[in-house]
Amino acid sequence: MAMAKAGARSARTTGGARDRSAATRAALVQAAIETLREAGFAGCSAREVAQRAGCNQALVFYHFGSVSGLLLAALDDVSERRMAAYRPLIEGHGASLPGLAAAAREIFAEDLAAGHVKVLVELIAGAPSVPGMGEQVAERLAPWRELAEAAVRGAVGQSPLATLAPVKEIAHGLVAGFLGLEMLAELDGSPAAALALFDRFAALAALVDQAGLLGQQGLMVLLARALTSREGEGRR
């Protein structure tokens, strides 16, 4: 998928030329991420990005066809690298809710610092100005949503919590939360509030995990009782 544009390169280039080409592409992609982060989608002109990459503006069009092509390649790059980093994290600790919370916190702190979620946010927000881009961005977001779903399923799939809401819904909320927290962190100029919320989530997860001792015999029964008994509802 990241190689979708590789055809732009001749199949017979020499090794050195290929290296240089790859280096240029990589530099442009990195510069695009940086520009998206610092100047937003609206600040991402071919000239601006090329300048940061230390190369010529025309190379954006040679390698990626258009500015939006470059931005999508940047999203691919971030996605691929981050996905590779997160999957083991989630598959490792993800069997428990506290593990998921801790993993999510680490991931998010790292991504806030590196601006990875910002790339996504900017592309989602900027997409409507480029015909057809919304679908392209949605395609690239899909694996993330699946990863979130898998993480939630692994963490609460067989616990009583799963009966409170479908895994898909919880995952949707999680992804939305990531995006929203990123925007607020950007606006506030600080990720503190977002990280505090994650810490709180981790603490609550630990609490629920211990309450999980109650399991079907405890927590669930309690909730079920609350759901069914409607007689004493005079609470003001």
Partner DNA sequence: GTCTATACTTGGATAGAC
Partner DNA sequence: GTCTATCCAAGTATAGAC
Interaction site with its own copies (CB under 8 A): 38-43, 121-122, 124-129, 134, 137-138, 141, 164-165, 169, 172-173, 175-181, 183-184, 186-189, 193-194, 196-197, 200, 204, 207, 209-214, 218-219, 222-223, 226-227, 229-230, 232-233, 235
Distances (CA, A) of 108 to 28, 101, 134, 166, 192: 25, 10, 24, 23, 12
Distance in angstroms (rounded) separating the CA atoms of residues 160 and 215: 7
Distance in angstroms (rounded) separating the CA atoms of residues 181 and 215: 32
Query: Using CB under 7 A, which of the segments 4-12, 118-126, 190-198, 205-213 binds DNA?
Result: 4-12
> Which two structure tokens, joined as six digits, stand for 229?
């008994």
Burial class of residue 134 in the structure, from the number of CB atoms within 10 Å of its CB (0-12 exposed, 13-18 middle, 19+ buried): middle
Distance in angstroms (rounded) separating the CA atoms of residues 20 and 205: 49
State which of residues 2, 4, 23, 193 lies at the interface with DNA (CB under 7 A). Answer: 23
Query: Using CB under 7 A, which of the segments 17-25, 74-82, 160-168, 209-217 binds DNA?
Result: 17-25
State which of residues 38, 62, 88, 169 lies at the interface with DNA (CB under 7 A). Answer: 62
- Binding partner at 8 among DNA, its own copies, none, C-beta below 5 to 8 Å by kind: DNA
Q: List residues near DNA by CB under 7 A.
A: 8-10, 13, 17-18, 20-21, 23-24, 44-48, 55-59, 61-63, 66-67
